[in-house]
Structures are given as structure tokens and as C-alpha cells.
Amino acid sequence: KKILILNGPNLNLLGTREPALYGSTSLADVEAMCRAAAERLGYEAECFQSNWEGALIDKIHEYGRLFKQGEALGCVFNPAAFTHTSVALQDAIKGVDGLPVIECHISNVHAREPFRNHSWISPAAAGIVIGFGVQGYVIAMQGLVRTQDPDNP
Ligand code: DQA
């Protein structure tokens, strides 16, 4: 069964982008960490990053279908700046009706500029992990498995 690790705009620059806020680990390293964590939990991580809102929406739709077919457990999603702008991403998650999405932010968005305090994604999220750095992705995956597959050892 698959877990989608979905990353939004500018997260392809992870490691070199504002390292004081986001750390010095590259996206490739974060994705490798997620793949290893998924394997430990008995799952397969698919990692996808896009700077394009529509590509993220299409991926959510695809995983909505896989979830209904029993082939996906859920999704860990860092919508990056689209968190604060995208009604369309909230609608996509609500629209696929079922796919559990854990919203994840590397930095503590509540301790930053006021425009980062609001999330359009949170009303559609099954859970939220904020401020644990890139470890948050693994924590979100663990939370997803604990809640969606409680018998998982
Ligand atoms: C972010 C926080 C967002 O406000 C910002 O636009 C990002 C990254 C985070 O992971 O902390 O790009 O989602």
C-alpha cells in the first residue's frame, strides 16, 4: 500500500532555501528518509513535488482513486505557500472524499508573519504536524499509520 508524500512550491529548493527556517537537508534526502520510514512501517512512499497548483490537485485526485481502491493509506502534504492561498487545494481534498491528508509544515507557521497563521488546508486535514523541522514528515507518517492502520505493529 502506498503513502503519498506531497510537497508544494519552492520545496524543491529545500536545503539551500532560507536554511535558518527550513534547515539544510535537501528534498532528495527528506524523500529518502520518508521512503525508509514507509518501509519500516510496511508501506511504500511515493514522493511528488510540484511548483504548480494544478499538478498538486491532479495528484490528490489520483490518490483519492487509489484510496477508494484500497491501494493507498493516505497522504502527507506540505502545501508550502499554497497553504495560505489555495481554496482549490482544500476543495480537492474535500472533493476526493475519504483520502486522509496530514498537513505538515517544517517551520512553526504560527510564530511567523500573520499571513502564515491561516491555512486553507487545515479544515480538510485529518491531522496537522507543525514546527518539527523535516522530522515532521516522518512524525506525520507515523500519525497517519497509527490512526488509519491501528493494528500496525
Ligand atoms: C512551509 C511554511 C509556508 O508558510 C511557506 O510558504 C513554505 C513552507 C513550511 O514547511 O514551514 O513554503 O509550508
> What does the pLDDT look like over 73-108, one tens digit per residue?
999 999 999 999 999 999 999 999 999 999 999 999
Residue 4 CA to ligand 1 center (angstroms) comes to 18
User: Is the CA virtual torsion 94, 142, 31, 20 positive or negative?
Assistant: positive
Residue 17 to residues 14, 25, 32, 134, Cα–Cα distance (Å): 5, 10, 19, 13
3-state class (DSSP) for residue 51: coil
Residue 15 lies in a domain: yes
The alpha helices in 2-152, defined as continuous H runs, are 19-22, 27-40, 53-68, 87-96, 135-148
Which amino acid is residue 59, in one-letter code? K
> What does the pLDDT look like over 6-46, one tens digit per residue?
999 999 999 999 999 999 999 999 999 999 999 999 999 99
> What does the pLDDT look like over 50-76, one tens digit per residue?
999 999 999 999 999 999 999 999 999
Residue 102 lies in a domain: yes
Residue 87 lies in a domain: yes
Residue 153 lies in a domain: no
Q: Which domain holds residue 72?
A: 2-148
Residue 97 marked in a binding site: no
Of 43, 63, 105, 137, the active-site residue reads 105
Question: Hey, whose CA ends up nearest to atom 8 of ligand 1?
Answer: 80
Q: Does ligand 1 come within 6 angstroms of the Cβ of 7?
A: no
Residue 69 lies in a domain: yes
Task: Indicate if the pLDDT at residue 153 is higher than 90.
Answer: no
Residue 94 lies in a domain: yes
Across the beta sheet with 72-78, the strand order is 44-49, 2-7, 72-78, 101-105, 127-130
pLDDT at 51: 98
Would you say 9 and 22 are in contact if contact means Cβ atoms under 8 Å apart? no
3-state class (DSSP) for residue 84: helix
Q: Say how many domains are in the chain.
A: 1
pLDDT at 100: 98
CATH of the domain at 104: 3.40.50.9100
105 is catalytic: yes
Q: Report the complex ipTM.
A: 0.99
Q: What is the pTM of this model?
A: 0.97
Which amino acid is residue 17, in one-letter code? R
Q: Does ligand 1 come within 6 angstroms of the Cβ of 49?
A: no
What is the Cα–Cα distance from 37 to 40, expressed in whole angstroms? 5
